Structures are given as structure tokens and as C-alpha cells.
Structure 1
Amino acid sequence: MPLALAHAAAAPAQSTQVFILPHGTTSLPAAAAGDLPEAAARYVEKALADDQKLVHLNHFSHHHYFVVLADKPTTAQVAEQLRRAGHTLHGQLKAEKVEEVFIENHSATSNAALLLAEGLALSAYQFEGYKTDEKSQKPASLARVYVVGNGATVAEITELEGLLEGVEFARDLVNAPLNKLNAVQFAERMAEAGDRAGYTTDILDLAKIEALRMGGLLAVNLGSPEPPTFSILEYKPENAQNEKPYVLVGKGVVFDTGGLSLKPTPNSMDMMKCDMAGGAAVAGTLYALAKNQVPLHVIGLVPATDNRPGGLAYAPGDVLTMHSGLTVEVRNTDAEGRLLLADALSFAKRYEPELVIDLATLTGAAVRALGTEASASMGTAEPATLQKLAEAGYAVHERLVEFPLWDEYADHIKSDIADINNLGKGEAGHISAAKFLERFAVGYPWIHLDIAGPAYLTAPESYRGKGGTGVGVRLLYEFLTKQLA
């Protein structure tokens, strides 16, 4: 579970406290100095004068930490510095085996305490995993974070806690291996989470998927000994402000070998348990929205299967008939994610949505273009909508870079024997993949997010950690809640 977050009117005597101070401060505010001995106060002020950003006082029975805001040109950059300060602080609290901490904000940034707590909590995430020895199972000491006084309201703290639970849920899903999370188990985990949070789940089995003629999902599943699923997650509160639902579509390839177009290993295949990170982000977002009772009608669609080369596996050269009726020539079985998404995007039309956003670890091209620092975005939605989503990305530091969907890119997916093919050229692969999806996202505004870079990290990076990052949950939550009147 995430760190427990709570509100406190004041910090008790001899408790571990964190004081957030304005940039450039060299003297302690009276409220932050408290009952510090004169020598201790002088030590802190000297460190502040030396431009130290995190100052630690060890009182042996308890600790005091002083976090100084960075001088950044935008509020989004200040917010990110606070999250990263939370990560640094978490390392020190862990080393000192601190069990609970009280955060006081003495800066002009009104939400500074919440942002620091967010960084602390995201850094504290641990995947429980499957270790059996007692030493490995020992939980971290830090269990509770209090925000003191007017640093945040109880409602704001509760909302952040619900959001962080959604991020942790997504991370847990991404970190689970295939033998613990096949397509059926993935669907069941999402349904169980819905029961806890307050959204409903309808799991379509193989027979229903066949009846819907979802040719893309069925083709990718042919090589698997296990059936596919198509999960429909719906959160529809009675006080929903939107007449038309927002629909989120997530790629749910629980493991991708590449199929007959087998991926090389090591590296390319080793981390492919993360290929359902788009579906995990959709589930995490629905969880957070429902948990926090956000008054929006939101639907999540998650087509799921693994992609293997066994049995009657689909092959390069095959022609598929999709849910929409379009035909697709398969040029490469490792370009499978777009086939699942295409069926889901076509299916989404029945909801007459306000907006459809899909998320997928779709292409290596997006990683080569942006690394792990950002996701690629493209779509047919109005520029103002794309801009609002980009602003949400900056606000939570899950940044987006928009790429074009010019008509010329349609040439990359032309086929001699079918309506389109599933593989573009060697260049602009993330764009040709989106151009493929565009043919199925018809009748509504649509945005595609290629999250292949930031979805899974092979080395720790600040509060994003190592492994599944849960990218997309905070982004979509920020964007959707900003649509409220």
C-alpha cells in the first residue's frame, strides 16, 4: 500500500519534522526554528547561507529536515523539484528508520507540502514481488506522512492518497510477470480493483470477442495457449458532469515475444512483461477517479493477450478483417499492439464519446525520439484539447511531445492486397503506427499516446523508481479533473 497520508493540526513534541522554506532564505522563520537550541539554529542558517537545499538535524530521538524551494522559472518546474526533493528526503528517512514524519510549509507555494508528500510516497513504492526469505520481506520503516496546519486540507490529502493508490495499482500490474498475470488474470485484477474503488467491469471472453469479429485481437492471440480478454471498465457516478463519456483505451499485451517476427534477446524481449502498461494506466486512472468520486463518466477499454509464435500463430503475409471491417496485411507480427488497439478504437464508437485517448507501449521509434523523458502524442482532437493535455503533462511531469499526422504518412502503411498494412517504414515509426490507428478512430476526437519510453525503467530514476512507473495515471487524472466545471 502507499504511504498513509493524513492531516495534523500541529506536530507533536520530539517528532520528526520537515520544514519547507522559500528560495533564498538564509534565516529561519520563528515557526520553523521552534525550540531549537541556538547552536542548532546557527548551524541550519549557515547551511542555508551556503545554498544547501536539504539540511538535516539529528536530535537522536527525532529529526528535523529543512527543504529549500529551488528557483525555477515555472510553477511546474518548482513542483517537480519538490517531488524530487521528496525522493531525496525519502532516502534519508529510510536510512534513519523514521516511521512517521510531519511536513510544514513555510513557503508561498501553497501546495508545496502536498507535492513533497507526493514525491515521498512515489519513492516509497515497493513491488511486493515473490521473495520468500524474511530479510527480503522486511517492510520499510516509514509508514505515515502528516501534512501540518494549512499545508493542505483533509480533502486534498485524501484525494492525493486515492490518486497514489491508482499509480501503485498500475505499477503492480506492470511489474507482474506473465506467469502471474496472463490476460484472464489481468482482467480479473482490474475487476477486483473496481469492486474496491467503485467502477464496474465487464470482461468479454473468447466467444464474445469472436462474435464481435475483433480480427486484430483474435489474430495476435492465435499463438497463445491462453484465451484473450476484452475488459470494459466503466465509472458512471450519478452526478457526472459530462453527457458524453471520456473513453480511455489501453494496450494490454501481457507479454510480447514478437510472435513469428521474434524479438532478439537479451534486452528487446526481456522486459516485455511491461507491454500492457497502457492497459495498466487505464485501470489505474479509473481506480483513482472512482476512489475519489470524481463526477465524470469515464469508460476504459483494455484488449488483452500475449503474443507468441506457437500453434496457429498469425504470420507475415496474413490478411486480417478487423472489427471495423477494414482489412489489414500483416507485414510484421511484432507490430501487434496496433492491431489490438484498432479493434478497441473501432468498438469505442458505440459510446459516442466526448474524447478517446489511447495509451500504448507501441514503438521503439518513440523511445529513440524521446528516450524515457517523455511520451509521443498525436491525434485528431482539436488543438486546444491537445494543448490542455500537454499542460497536464507539464503539471505532473509526465510530459508529451506532439508529432504530426500529415496525409503523406498514410503512404507508409499502403498495402497491395489489403486496405492497409501494419508496418510503416524504418523512419517515423511512431507516426506511421498512429496513422494506422487513425483509420479506426473514426467518428470522434482522438488522441494517441505512445508511452514506450517512460512506462518501464531498467534503472532507478528519482521517484519514478525502477520497473513500472505507472505513467499516464497522474497525467490523465490531472487532465480529466481539469474538465470539471
Structure 2
Amino acid sequence: MTAIKYSASFSAVEHLAAIATTKSDFTKLGLSREELGYLKGQIQKDEHFVTINQYKRTVIVYIAEKKDERFLAIEALRRAGNKVCGVFNGIKAGSVTIVDLAGNAEDTIAFAEGMALGNYQFLSHRTQDTKKVKHSLATINIQSRKVDRAQIQRLQIIVDATLKARDLVNEPVNYLNAVQIAAEFQKMGREAGFKVDVLNKTKIESLKMGGLLAVNRGSMDPPTFTIMEWKPGNAKNKKPYILVGKGVVYDTGGVSLKPTANSMDSMKCDMAGAAAVGCTMYAIARAKLPVHVISLVPATDNRPGMNAYVPGDIITMHNGMTVEMLNADAEGRMILADALSYAQKYNPELAIELSTLTGAAAAAIGKYGIVAMGTADKKMNDTLTDSGNNVFERIAQFPFWDEYADLLKSDIADLKNIGGSVAGAITAGKFLQKFTKYPYIHLDIAGPAFIDSAYDYKPKGGTGVGVRLLFDFFSHVM
């Protein structure tokens, strides 16, 4: 992972990326008179990126763009950082120093964040030409009078956690099955200092988690149920916040096999919600945020083999409710329902659940945001929306009207696991609401969790969406 470090100064041979305004003092960059003249001329032409190639180094000056809203200007800085990262990797630079000529800590941190996130690669399974394709950039130094070491350490934690989530999402199921994802969370817990308990199949059976067990019936690998807890002595909340993440490590659709071309190619990503909540725990524990948080991850793959559950089956869930299963490809809600029901024992202040739950959510807003709905109050939703803007993982609030629950009524059980041909993202959320008796927010990350081509500082494949959002939320909710 990219190291982000504080630097009190820089030398005449270091590659530089300067963040500036039109009124900045560019003489600090060690440029010649001719180079300064060229730079100022380009700025007068409203150029935001100016590159100066010297014999021993490259200097890039970025003039921050003005936007109507502050969060859009911050996102422009992240994107600029990503662009600069590409340039320095192109010239095989090993390190770069960001010079804050504008004297703005927030801008500088955003620029560095874009560089570090954009520098990500997943090369774990490459055995040939690794050196050729591996990015050269290993260290980002920050030279700023306004940025302190604590801010840089915090940024490093956020970036590290996001990249861990990307790694988990990118891992194939022949490595990352339900047992292994639990082991990964245990490893993170040991490293960051939060508690991790993993329930095996026998314990899951004793808890009568019928949804998780039903989905797992088609698999040769056992399910797991991971409980992670961060409870510092200075926690400001009396009742815990609960995070729940969907841990379907691979989804074939079960016996309701996915019918469309290439529809299974990326289904290793169906545990992106689990990766998000686990890596959020890693981040808040390393940062020692004063908040009590518990994360729950039900994990299994969904396959059509063995004694797989089939449409028409009646499944008794953890809370005793019965579900008429009419589509085996609506498996995420089955395992999440058990986790949400289990969460009741903690009497939570709020539960936030993340899942790549529906194609309907992805179709509605694409990779550009997160579909949200639920029963939490306006204050909590507004805080989460603000956090979404802060990290540019924007929240799109969907209606959650009671009438949508009528679409889940069953003639022979308490409810069905699908709602019909309309409002699929919402009926999935209404299904999960049936298993909550506390304030609840459902986040459907199906659109942005895994993308088929790089998009700004988000790489092709797993994006780690949700980690930065939740970290920012817990940094502000108290």
C-alpha cells in the first residue's frame, strides 16, 4: 500500500505536485525564471494543470477549481490527485512530495487521498510481468504548514482500510470462501485491536438462523457468522451502533440460476457489504474513534448443488417468521434478515446494513451513488447524507412507503422473499425491515461496489465503497 508521510521540507531533486491558487508564491518551488514565466503564462490561460519537466525531476502545479458547493471542489481535488498519480507512475517516480502553496489543509488531504486511492492495484495472483505493470509510486510526502502528522495518520488509516476492502472484493471464491472471509476479519481484528468472534455452522444451527442455513444448503463449504466489536472505554454512545454486511462470497443465483450473459462474471463481489463493514471496523479501531460499534457478517456462497433450497420452500427464520422462497437469487435478504434479527439482542441506537442487494438499485442510479431507505430519523439520515457528500459516496434516498410491503404478502407463509416486477430495490428493503425493531438504514451498494472500468480514483473491479462513508459518519455522528 502507498505510504503517506509528513515532510518538513523538500529538496531540489524531488518530484513535486503543488496545490496552488493564482496568487501563490511559486518561487518556493525552485523554478528558473523561464520556468516561472511559463507557469504564470499557463495560469493566465486558465490552465489548471501545468507540468514542468526538469532534468532531474518533474513539477506539476494544480490550480484548484472553483465549484458551486464545497464538497464538489474537494472531489475535484481528489480527481486531480488521481490524475497526477498517473503522470508520476508514467515516469516511474518512486516518491512525490505534495507542496501546499495554497495553505489549505482540507484541499491538501483531499489531493493526497485521490493520489493514494488512485495508486491501487490488485496483483496478488499475477505471476508474470509483475514488475512491468506494478506502479512505481510507493511514497507520498506532504509538505504543508496547515497539515499535521495526526491528519496524515488518519488519512493513511482511511486509505489502508479502503484498499483492504478492495482486496477482499477482488479475491475469487476459490480463495475467499465463507470460512476465509471470517479468518480475514480475525486477522484485521488482531492488527487493529477490535474483538472478533466467528460462529461456525453448529452454532448457527443452534441459533436457528434459517435464512443463512437455507442459502448454504447448495454449497459444500460451511457458512460463518462473524461478530466484530469495537468498544473503547471513552465511547460516547450508550447503545451500540450496528453494522450488517452481506457476505455472499459468490452468487450463482442458486437454482434460480442467473440467466443473462456474463451475469455471473463479477459475482465474487457479492460480499462487498461484508468487506465494507469489516474494514470500517479496522479503520475506526486503528483511529480509536470514541464510538461503540458492532458489525455482523453472515457469510456463505449461493449455489444450485447439494440439497439447495428451491422456489416454494418455506423457511423459518431466526426470529420465527416464515418466508415463502420464490426466487433463490434473492438470497442476500435471506441471510441479512437473520443478522438483523440477531442484532435485536443489542438494543442498538441504529443499524446500518450494506449489501449488493438488487440489480434494480444499480439500474436506477448506476455506479454514481448508493440507494438508501429505512426507518431512522431525519437527523441520522441527514448525517449520513452529509458524510456521503464529504467522501463523494453520495446517498440517493428512495421512498419507503408502507404500500410496498403489501407486495411481499404470501398466501401460505408470513411473507415472500420477492415482491414482483416493480420497485425491486424498495421491496427488498421492506423485506428486511420486517426483521428490525429499531432504527434502521438500508444501503444498496450494487451499483458502485464493483465497476467494469476505472472511474477517477476508483479502479476497475472492487471499489471499497462504504468504508470512507461509514468512517466519516462515525467521525461526525457523536
Shift of 1:100: 1.1
Amino acid at match of 1:426: S
Is residue 142 of structure 1 aligned with residue 137 of structure 2? Answer: yes
Amino acid at match of 2:466: G
Matches within 5 A, 1:163-174: 163-174=158-169
- Distance in 1, matches of 2:333 and 2:375, equals 17
TM superposition score normalised by structure 2: 0.98
Deviation at 1:126, TM superposition (A): 0.9
Paired AA for residue 10 in structure 1: S
> Aligned AA for 2:449?
A
Residues in 2 aligned to 1:360 and 1:185: alpha-carbon distance in whole angstroms = 19
Alignment of 1:53-452 (within 5 A): 53-107=48-102, 109-135=104-130, 139-442=134-437, 444-452=438-446
2:219 maps to amino acid = S
Query: Counterpart of 1:407 in structure 2: which amino acid?
Result: D
**Corresponding residue of 1:469:** 463
Task: Say if 2:103 and 2:146, in contact at 8 Å, map to a contact too.
Answer: no
Partner of 1:116, secondary structure, is helix
Pairwise CA distance, 1:266? 3.0
State the Cα distance separating 1:109 from its structure 2 match.
3.9
* Aligned-pair CA distance for 1:228: 0.2
SS of the residue corresponding to residue 304 of structure 2 reads coil
1:379-421 CA-to-partner distances (Å, cap 9, x unmatched) read 1000121111011001100001011111110111110000100
Shift of 1:461: 0.7
Alpha-carbon distance in 1 for matches of 2:286, 2:451: 27
Amino acid at match of 2:9: A
How far off its partner does 1:257 sit?
A: 0.2
1:230 deviates by 0.2
Partner of 1:19: 18
Secondary structure of the equivalent of 2:226? strand
Q: CA deviation at 1:62?
A: 1.0
Shift, 1:139, TM fit: 3.4
TM-score for both structures, normalised by structure 1: 0.97
Distance 1:229 1:423 in 2: 24
Q: Does structure 1 residue 49 correspond to structure 2 residue 44?
A: yes
Contact 2:279 2:467 in 1 (8 A): yes
| CA deviation map 1:424-444 (0-9, x unaligned) | 1211100000000000011x1
What's the offset of the Cα at 1:237?
1.4
Q: Is the 8 A contact 1:174 1:277 kept in 2?
A: yes
Matched to 2:11, the amino acid is P
Change beyond 3 A, Cα 1:421–1:32:
farther
- Conserved? CA contact 2:98–2:143, under 8 Å: yes
Alpha-carbon distance in 2 for matches of 1:468, 1:452: 11
Aligned to 1:10: 9
Tell me the residue number matched to 1:478: 472
Note the residue ranges of structure 2 that are not aligned, 5 or more in a row.
none
**In 2, are the aligned partners of 1:97 and 1:141 still within 8 Å (CA)?**
yes
Cα deviation for residue 110 of structure 1 reads 3.2
Cα contact 1:33–1:41 (8 A) shared by 2: no
When residues 73 and 32 of structure 1 are mapped into structure 2, their CA distance, relative to the original with a 3 A threshold, is: farther
Q: Which amino acid aligns with 1:463?
A: Y
**Matches of 2:234 and 2:28 in 1, distance apart?**
47
Distance 2:45 2:132 in 1: 40
Does the aligned pair in 2 maintain the 1:282–1:473 contact within 8 Å? yes
What is the percentage of aligned positions where both structures have the same residue? 48
In 2, Cα distance between the equivalents of 1:265 and 1:120?
37
**How far apart, in 2, do the equivalents of 1:147 and 1:32 lie?**
18
| 8 Å Cα contact 1:245/1:298 also seen in 2 | yes
Give secondary structure in 1 for the equivalent of 2:196.
strand
Give me the whole-angstrom Cα distance separating, in 2, the residues matched to 1:50 and 1:438. Answer: 55
SS at the partner of 1:448? strand
Q: Which runs of 4+ in 1 moved over 4 A?
A: none
Whole-angstrom CA distance in 2 between matches of 1:229 and 1:371: 31
> Residue deviations 1:234-259, cap 9 Å, x none?
11112212111111000000000000
In the aligned structure 1, how far is the partner of 2:328 from the partner of 2:25? 66
Deviation at 1:137, TM superposition (A): 6.9
Post-superposition CA distance 1:285-337 (Å, at most 9, x none):
00000111111111110000000000100000000000011100001000000
